[in-house]
Amino acid sequence: KNEVEQSPQNLTAQEGEFITINCSYSVGISALHWLQQHPGGGIVSLFMLSSGKKKHGRLIATINIQEKHSSLHITASHPRDSAVYICAVTNYGGSQGNLIFGKGTKLSVKP
Amino acid sequence: DGGITQSPKYLFRKEGQNVTLSCEQNLNHDAMYWYRQDPGQGLRLIYYSHIVNDFQKGDIAEGYSVSREKKESFPLTVTSAQKNPTAFYLCASSDHRGRFDYGYTFGSGTRLTVV
């Protein structure tokens, strides 16, 4: 079983829809990251959070430490939101300080 | 603007040849990382370095080598010993070894194809 699981794997939405991507993890963490990867391959960091909720524009990220679960929400989705969204965690106490990645959720928003 | 530069974006090499991927950052970050991405899989750690002149193997280091002679540079060499080198390679950096509230910055990646 992977230490970081995302769902769904693929998601197709119509423009304007509210979107939720879920992430569950099984290790102790010091932080959780939501990343966005566009077709060209480069990755952009969207959020890093260790508790509660963060909002940036139409994106909202929440985390429940007790349940080891995080969600990424996109309100009023737009075709330019089409990308792969990756959840990653920084393993608590890990000497490497490295990220453990989920496999990603491929989002396609149709006009 | 500060960031990470990876070059080249696309690289083609013949089987059996060594190839070096460049990663440069001007963020003054201590830590740098190399990840490999294959279709349908999450990114996997190849090597990492927390300080100059020191680096450690990650989960899939076999067939790869790195150096960290300067804080801003962390080149990755894919050697002929790597059995399946065709993949997408991402470089990243972070401040204070990625702990607690310190974030990561990623490069735009290099897609390596071995023919």
B97 three-class SS: helix
Please give the Cα distance from A3 to A25 (Å, whole number). 5
pLDDT of residue A6: 97
3-state SS string over chain A?
A: CCCEEEECCEEEEECCCCEEEEEEECCCEEEEEEEEECCCCCEEEEEEECCEEEEECCEEEEEECCCCEEEEEECCCCHHHCEEEEEEEEECCCCCCCEEECCCEEEEEEC
Q: Identify the pLDDT of residue B95.
A: 80
Tell me the C-alpha distance between B101 and B107, whole Å.
20
| CB contact set of B1 (below 8 Å; sequence gap of 6+) | none
CA distances (Å), origin B45, targets A88, B81, B115: 12, 18, 24
pLDDT tens by residue, A13-68: 999 999 999 999 998 888 899 999 988 888 889 999 989 999 999 999 999 999 99
Q: Are B82 and B100 in contact (CB under 8 A)?
A: no
pLDDT in tens, A57-82: 999 999 999 999 999 999 999 999 99
Is the Cβ pair B90, A43 closer than 8 Å?
A: yes
> What six digits make up the tokens of A11?
């998601």
Q: What are phi and psi of B75, to 5 degrees?
A: -75, 145
Residue A103 reports pLDDT greater than 90: yes
pLDDT level of residue A9 (50, 70, 90 thresholds): very high
Mutation site, B41, B43, B59, interface A, largest A CB count within 10 A = B43
Least confident range of B13-17, B59-63, B83-87, B102-106: B102-106
pLDDT attached to residue A86: 96
Model confidence band, residue B101 (pLDDT cutoffs 50, 70, 90): low
CB pairs under 8 A between A and B: 72
The phi, psi pair for A93, rounded to 5°, reads 75, 0
Residue B103 confidence (pLDDT): 76
The model's confidence at residue A2, banded by pLDDT at 50, 70 and 90, is: confident
Average confidence (pLDDT) over B63-86: 95
- pLDDT, tens digit (0-9, with 9 covering 90-100), for B18-64: 999 999 999 999 889 999 999 888 899 999 998 899 999 998 999 99
Look at residue A95 in the predicted model and tell me its pLDDT.
54
From chain B, pick out residues whose CB is under 8 angstroms from the CB of A100: 42
Pairwise CA distance, residues A83 & B86, whole Å? 22
The pLDDT value recorded for residue A94 is 55
Cβ-contact B30, B95 below 8 angstroms: yes
* Cβ separation A35–B99 shorter than 8 A: no
Mean pLDDT of B81-90: 92
Inform me whether the pLDDT recorded for B91 exceeds 80.
yes
Output the pLDDT for position B99.
54
